[in-house]
Amino acid sequence: MKDSNFLKEHNAKSLWHPMAHPADSQANPPAIITAASGVRIKDLDGHEVIDAVGGLWNVNLGFSCQPVKDAIAAQLDVLPYYSTFRGTSNDQVIQLAEMLRDFFAPDGLSRAFFTSGGSDSVETALRLARQYHKVRGEAGRTKFLSLKKGYHGTHMGGASVNGNANFRTQYEPLLPGCHHIPAPYTYRNPFNESDPERLAQLCLQALEDEIAFQGAGTIAAFIMEPILGAGGVIPPHESFMPGVRDICTKHGILLIADEVITAFGRTGSWSGSRHWGVQPDFMCTAKAITNGYFPFGAVMIADAVAEVFEQDETGRAAIGHGYTYSGHPVGAAAALACLEETLRLDVPTNAAARGQELHQGLLALQEKHTLIGDVRGGHGLMCAMELVADRNSKAAADKKTTAVLQEVTYQNGAMVRVSGPNIILSPPLVLSSQDVQGILSALDAGFAAAC
């Protein structure tokens, strides 16, 4: 490794960071992380903190998951790459597809289409949803519906169904035929409704209304996260996703569950859809499928959808979609080892218990610090706090305040993620109670400094 002077001097000079203003990264160079173990990361100066971001919602098993590391190293020696485009396959990806079929059987999902990450998975599901209707002879079903505040990655299709202006405005025009309905976000919504159950019903009515307005026969799919993540951790009322499922079924619209962060235990259930008792038609996964150690993803497909493709005799079901790295043998080997370890450790049980502790601790911080307008969580290890300058007007806290909070929290032992006015927490699912307390006391110090 080059010496620390070189790294600090060149930090953010020759690379542009995702989700950052290039000039801002140069003016305020990012923390340089050089090592990690367990649930902790270490920076160039040797400062070690608990990673309350979990990499980026993906390092569910922490940074020392030896079986995944070993699987990657071993696979690199045997078969570092081969394509799975028509005509070839590999031993790892065949085994992985069988394992995922068993894992997702309770979700009614039995086929896998492999990708290189979350945005790729979303793009795949959107494209296959359109194709499904064409194969069935309903070529007019091309539109997509989604939730405001939802996050579905940054490819053109994904950005088009995204519900946050930050990821859209500078990249418009986006895909035509994508329409959004209000999210079941109790803190701020157009209905001024703070009761979660009533709000869920109002959002479902808005969905019905939009379908009537667009015409059901023009809509291919509705895509949603079972618990909205990057948009600020918004858990809907338990009636919401089942309600969406019913409406989609009634109108012949496919339901795509974007589970890039919720699959594999984060919500305290094995999948977010299972958490709400819903079976989607497609499920997008990525991130924790390899514990973040290899870029990889899988779109899981429901039996009924798979049958339409597999029984097609018109030729329309030939899949004109795929990635060079679809079914990458090293990624597949990593995912096999990761799934085994995820099951062995029964991570949802710990995610649920530690998630409750974290959520309760954040509510206690809210009692103490007026900066915290809203606390969201209570479903596994995904929580957020929305910061406000004033609780009555709910005016968002400014950037300087969130920057101070993040820096002082970091100095006191925890890395947290700032996204607009939200502080987002998505730590590894192998977190201990002591780690939860460590995150909370670092945040307490951060809030004391930022107020």
| Closest residue to ligand PLP, based on beta-carbon distance | 118
- CB of residue 225 to ligand PLP, shortest distance in Å: 5
Beta strands in 118-246 (DSSP E): 143-147, 178-181, 219-224
Quick check: 152 and 121 in contact, CB under 8 A? no
Residues 209-228 that bind ligand PLP (CB under 6 A): 225
Closer residue to ligand PLP, CB minimum distance, 123 or 341? 123
Task: State the number of binding residues for ligand PLP (CB under 6 A).
Answer: 15
Amino acid at 410: Y
Question: Helices (H) and strands (E) in the chain — how many of each?
Answer: 15, 16
User: Can you tell me whether residue 184 is helix, strand or coil?
Assistant: coil
- CB of residue 54 to ligand PLP, shortest distance in Å: 11
Residues 55-94 that bind ligand PLP (CB under 6 A): 57
- CB of residue 300 to ligand PLP, shortest distance in Å: 14
- CB of residue 355 to ligand PLP, shortest distance in Å: 17
* Residues 136, 139, 145, 151, CA torsion sign: positive
Closer residue to ligand PLP, CB minimum distance, 114 or 309? 114
Q: Does 260 bind ligand PLP (CB under 6 A)?
A: yes
- CB of residue 161 to ligand PLP, shortest distance in Å: 10
Report residue 404 as tokens.
Answer: 């101070």
- CB of residue 153 to ligand PLP, shortest distance in Å: 3
* Integer Cα distance of 178 and 190 in angstroms: 20
415-420 contacts at long range (C-beta below 8 A, 24 or more positions apart): 415/31, 415/41, 415/49, 415/50, 415/51, 415/52, 415/53, 416/52, 416/53, 416/442, 416/443, 416/446, 417/52, 417/53, 419/230, 419/232, 420/166, 420/232, 420/396
Q: Does 355 bind ligand PLP (CB under 6 A)?
A: no
Q: Does 236 bind ligand PLP (CB under 6 A)?
A: no
* Integer Cα distance of 220 and 443 in angstroms: 44
First to last CA, the chain: 39
The angle, 0 to 180 degrees and rounded to 10, between the axes of the packed helices 347-368 and 329-345 is: 70
Report residue 316 as tokens.
Answer: 């329309």
Q: Does 286 bind ligand PLP (CB under 6 A)?
A: yes
Closer residue to ligand PLP, CB minimum distance, 117 or 163? 117
Closer residue to ligand PLP, CB minimum distance, 261 or 443? 261
Q: Does 327 bind ligand PLP (CB under 6 A)?
A: no
Closer residue to ligand PLP, CB minimum distance, 117 or 236? 117
Report residue 92 as tokens.
Answer: 């790892």
Quick check: 431 and 354 in contact, CB under 8 A? yes
Q: Does 261 bind ligand PLP (CB under 6 A)?
A: yes
- CB of residue 90 to ligand PLP, shortest distance in Å: 22
Residues 103-132 that bind ligand PLP (CB under 6 A): 117-119, 122
Closer residue to ligand PLP, CB minimum distance, 286 or 430? 286
Closer residue to ligand PLP, CB minimum distance, 113 or 309? 113
Could you list the residues that contact ligand PLP (CB under 6 A)?
A: 57, 117-119, 122, 151-153, 225, 229-230, 258, 260-261, 286
